[in-house]
Structure 1
Amino acid sequence: MNGQKILIVEDEVRMRMLISDYLKREGFEILEAGDGQQALDIFEQNDLDLVVLDIMLPKYDGWTVCRNIRKSSNVPIVMLTARSEESDELFGFELGVDEYITKPFSLKILVARIKALLSRTSPLSNDEISIGAIVIDTSAHIVSVNGQIAELTPKEYELLIYLVKNKGIALSREQILDGVWGYDYYGDLRTVDTHIKRLRMKIGESAVLIQTVRGIGYRFGGQI
């Protein structure tokens, strides 16, 4: 983990310092921004491993920052929010947010979520996985369909890998939520449906491989 670069975007100075100091003790390299414009400037100038992003920010809010980052990068994004509205979470996942942390939160939990997310999205091996027209380069974290790169967010990539590893098995939404988001995630089951929908759109005709199992959830398999 040591040396990985994390950008903390938080306008509350005390909160930003607390998060920064805690992550530095864990061996991370930390960059800080106090508003949305500064966050985007730092993003453009650095190769980041993860972004911790508050929603309520001066100049540009967290939604705008996230939207702009996702135009050119799949860097993992952990969103901090003072609200626990289900609609906010679903909107964030649509934009490409990977994890949500609701304030107030434990710094230990935040670090655990960050480490788990980085672990799940870091390169695993030099192997390639081929299923129909889909080719997954697990070293580079690149997914291509019919030779064209599919621009997946880290969470969409994790979801695809989880489905592929459980090929042929009917998975409930609860199983998928636990396997991809973790056992300590308390989001709504519709989070799974939202990400499945986005993943299907991005893999085009290969979307038929992700089958809906009525009354249960989803299964990866079948022929194109």
Structure 2
Amino acid sequence: MVKVLIADDDEAIRKLVGHYVRTEGFEPILASDGEEALELLEEHAAELVIVDLMMPKRDGYSLAKHIRTFYDIPIIMLTAKNQLLDKEKGFEAGTDDYLTKPFEPEELIFRIRALLRRFQKASAKMIEVGNLTIDKGSYTVKAGRKEWLLPVKEFELLYQLASFPERIFTREELIEQIWGESL
């Protein structure tokens, strides 16, 4: 069952979104603030996160940045902040979609389904190099019966290089593609 983490300090919103998520056959995981969201994400390995911007302990921007750094899962910002600057900051923090309150629950479900479809296609990639299997879906590397869990950036670097075995990358290209920074 697909787990959806819902991080919002408004209990009514959490329950409403949780209800619609459950109705669609997904398992909702509810967090009342950003810190609790991170703890629950580590415990439950959610496959999608819905984040409010204005939360205690850790706001939505900070939460999205943290998730984007350590996880490859879709993030939806669900917030009352509807100014263009807020949306820009949300996308820069790493969100994949941005929906403002008040919202239609059905539209949120459409967006959840679309993001899960795109991410599942992207994360379904497996690369085999000799007897080595690099699985982007689970971020694991396997050789025979041995399996390794690499740090995220090391895995992404290995995956990038293995995806293009005949290509030579410059240092600058790798930094931009893996770390998202240009020199």
Asked if these proteins are the same fold (TM beyond 0.5), I'd say yes
Contact 2:126 2:135 in 1 (8 A): yes
Look up the match of 2:4.
Answer: 6
Distance 1:149 1:16, change over 3 A: same
Q: Which residue of 1 aligns with 2:33?
A: 35
1:127 Cα offset (Å):
7.2
> After superposition, where does 1:114-153 map in structure 2 within 5 Å?
114-123=112-121, 140=137, 148-149=158-159
1:140, 1:45 → 2: CA distance? 18
Letter of the 1:42 counterpart: L
Asked whether the 8 Å contact 1:123–1:139 carries over to 2, the reply is no
The answer for the alignment partner of 1:73 in structure 2 is 71
- Kindly, what percent of the aligned residue pairs are identical? 37
Match of 1:202 in 2: 177
Aligned to 1:44: 42
Spell out structure 1 runs of 4+ moving beyond 2 A: 123-128, 137-142, 147-150
The structural deviation recorded for 1:201 is: 2.5
What is the deviation of 1:200?
9.4
Residue of structure 1 in register with 2:105 after alignment: 107
What are the ranges of 5 or more consecutive residues in structure 2 without an aligned counterpart? 128-133, 140-153, 161-173
Root mean square deviation, CA, Å: 3.1
User: What is the CA–CA distance in structure 2 between the aligned matches of 1:94 and 1:126, rounded to whole Å?
Assistant: 26
Once residues 92 and 123 of structure 1 are traced to their aligned partners in structure 2, the CA distance between those partners, rounded to angstroms, is 24
TM-score scaled by length of structure 1: 0.57
User: What is the Cα deviation at residue 44 of structure 1?
Assistant: 1.7
Q: What TM-score comes out, normalization by structure 2 length? A: 0.69
Deviations 1:89-109 (A, max 9, x none): 222212211000011000000
